[in-house]
Structure 1
């Protein structure tokens, strides 16, 4: 390629990068404006002078008219400014966001929104009506004891066998999650911490029926609910979650994973590959589950980075959702 052609290509690339930076700034500014308007609505005080309190005062403020004391007129309640927070179409009106949603490219959606933190802020502020945290086909879906899958017997459309990391039970994952898992497994090996394998990955609604029933039979419902999801409430059913074990000469069990070199490396580095440890120790009051250092949930690199950088420990807190310590009924 000639020097002139190379310069032209570099110029076009730089122009595209400038355009993307401008788009991200517009989306971030739009989300910030909505957050500020919402905060202003909550902070504007109502100025109320109670008529009852004025009447009860023995010598309230007043004036003397013709030798007769008269109270000053009681101030009326001032009208509170009604600031209409527009359901910000700022993010959803972005052509790049619309195109990525239509293409079902979740990572591109987050990037077009300005990155994981801008995406999160827009969702929390109600500035992203085109984004549903209940859509089981999206990486950002939140499934917990108050947020069942819809439909309950949902089945992912793009499941595949694990391509690189060993599955001890012939498991399946969504293809994007499997690609990220392959990179994670290679990263663990390159770091010298040892091999990992998957004990459990996608589980269908029917499988979860029998899995949960077995836990109830063995442990009782209260104990089962602390460690196993009811059918239709399991992240495994999305194809985005897996249970990992450490392997050497053989493979260990789930309960051993957190204390292994692999488990400690995963806890520190899973976010770099788009995964989070979904159920951390000390957050059962939010997630409803005991600590499971082996349970990884794929949310994509951009969201996982925002999750890590923001110091979050639950998806509920990350997206501003209420705690889900128990089922509604």
Structure 2
């Protein structure tokens, strides 16, 4: 990145050097370099690479599943190692600061999600269930990259009131450092198709910080709308 900045500045020096004084050229180049440093690759209009491999959709290497993009019925990876390692380290670091997290839900198979979803539909009706539960094959939990967390001390599990706990305050500031994003954001229900879920974390690895800082959902960030 620094090499590119230097090259761009030198190119500008050469161009301007043919048109004006050396002092003016140097000042212009310095100003250009300052402006260039304010850019990041996430600001640039780079096309997203979307591909499907064995029935699984990836956007720039990140596995995507939502109401429109399914997983194969037989996709059954279990809780993936990187997800488990990341959340265990996150919980340990939080505990060192006096916070107490509980893993409420991790991997769910297609069949288990079908059982949950059908029970919710039977209880609340399909329209209501679709706002908080994924149809089988459309759950992030089937990826092995999603977890639901709660506050053990406050006994706040899978409730929006989790947002008001010290644990969530810490999570919202630090989860990205461990590769997690809050997947279903407040105010983005019309995009994700699900209610706000402060407890639902999705592992996306080294893209987590950029996604968090963008304030976008995965659908928006990867231009999948």
TM-score of the superposition, structure 2-length normalised? 0.74
Provide the C-alpha distance between the structure 2 equivalents of 1:207 and 1:129, rounded to a whole number of angstroms: 28
Q: CA deviation at 1:152?
A: 2.9
Larger radius of gyration: 1
Q: Does the 8 Å CA contact 2:42/2:210 hold for their aligned counterparts?
A: no
Question: 2:219 maps to which residue?
Answer: 316
Residues 1:259 and 2:164 are matched in the alignment? yes
Q: 1:204 to 1:264 in 2, by over 3 A?
A: same
Residues 1:245 and 2:146 are matched in the alignment? no
Q: Does the 8 Å CA contact 2:106/2:146 hold for their aligned counterparts?
A: yes
Q: CA deviation at 1:153?
A: 2.9
Provide the C-alpha distance between the structure 1 equivalents of 2:50 and 2:195, rounded to a whole number of angstroms: 33
Q: CA deviation at 1:259?
A: 1.6
Identify the match of residue 181 of structure 2 among 260, 276, 289: 276
Question: 2:210 maps to which residue?
Answer: 306
Q: Please, which runs of 5 or more residues in structure 1 have no aligned partner?
A: 1-19, 30-116, 160-172, 323-329
| Larger relative contact order (CA 8 Å, sep ≥ 6) | 2
Q: Does the 8 Å CA contact 1:197/1:247 hold for their aligned counterparts?
A: yes
Kindly report which structure 2 residues correspond to 1:25-174, keeping only aligned pairs within 5 A, or say none.
118=41, 125-126=47-48, 128=49, 134-135=56-57, 140-149=62-71, 151-156=72-77, 159=78, 173-174=79-80
Question: 2:128 maps to which residue?
Answer: 223
Indicate the SS of the match to 1:258: helix
Residues 1:188 and 2:94 are matched in the alignment? yes
RMSD, matched Cα: 2.9
Indicate the SS of the match to 2:82: helix
Q: CA deviation at 1:135?
A: 3.8
Q: CA deviation at 1:284?
A: 0.7
TM-score of the superposition, structure 1-length normalised? 0.52
Indicate the SS of the match to 1:254: coil
Q: CA deviation at 1:268?
A: 1.9
Provide the C-alpha distance between the structure 2 equivalents of 1:281 and 1:213, rounded to a whole number of angstroms: 26
Q: Please, which runs of 5 or more residues in structure 2 have no aligned partner?
A: 9-39
Q: Does the 8 Å CA contact 1:120/1:319 hold for their aligned counterparts?
A: no
Q: CA deviation at 1:191?
A: 2.8
Indicate the SS of the match to 1:145: coil
